A and B are shown apart, each in its own frame.
Chain A
Amino acid sequence: QKEVEQNSGPLSVPEGAIASLNCTYSDRVSQSFFWYRQYSGKSPELIMSIYSNGDKEDGRFTAQLNKASQYVSLLIRDSQPSDSATYLCAVNKIGGTSYGKLTFGQGTILTVHP
């Protein structure tokens, strides 16, 4: 089992729709969770971070964390063509030898078509 798994893509949604990206992780010790967006040929850009169970909203983006189910998701409302990118889920464990180490999922390619 991979440490971090994302829903298989690619995901295609029409402009204005809600895009739902999902991620599961295997290590219950994980404490910090991140969503990065990566455009082709560019570096990952931090979109959302979440540390506590529940929802966290930032503009059109909502991150949801459920530690009991070891599940984190990202919702993008009113999707725009400019949201088309690869979305990376990353998990960080705090303490011991795990500081600063992000474990990434394989990424989900999102395409928003006009």
Chain B
Amino acid sequence: GAVVSQHPSWVICKSGTSVKIECRSLDFQATTMFWYRQFPKQSLMLMATSNEGSKATYEQGVEKDKFLINHASLTLSTLTVTSAHPEDSSFYICSATQGLAGVYNEQFFGPGTRLTVL
């Protein structure tokens, strides 16, 4: 199957700093990428849907100025957690799909990035 990578796999930062997480589709063009957040022992919460070349669509309750998403190319989306605080500590997972309209599109998940804010 297709491969999605995330970088870094884990990051520790100080409160108030910004952290960028990259999500790459390695062997296919991803028209659509999704960003999820997973709290310990809980399910994945969709944060936003990112389409190449357009602004991300954020889910209700997700601060778009706090979680900046850029999908500048068909193989790369970035999530920047701005002015991170300890409550932003979480496991962030991206997924990517070709995003063909009206048909089944398999979604491929990255391995996740664990963010710890001190």
Task: Decide if A and B are genuine partners.
Answer: no
Chain B interfacial positions (CB closer than 8 Å to A): none
Chain A interfacial positions (CB closer than 8 Å to B): none
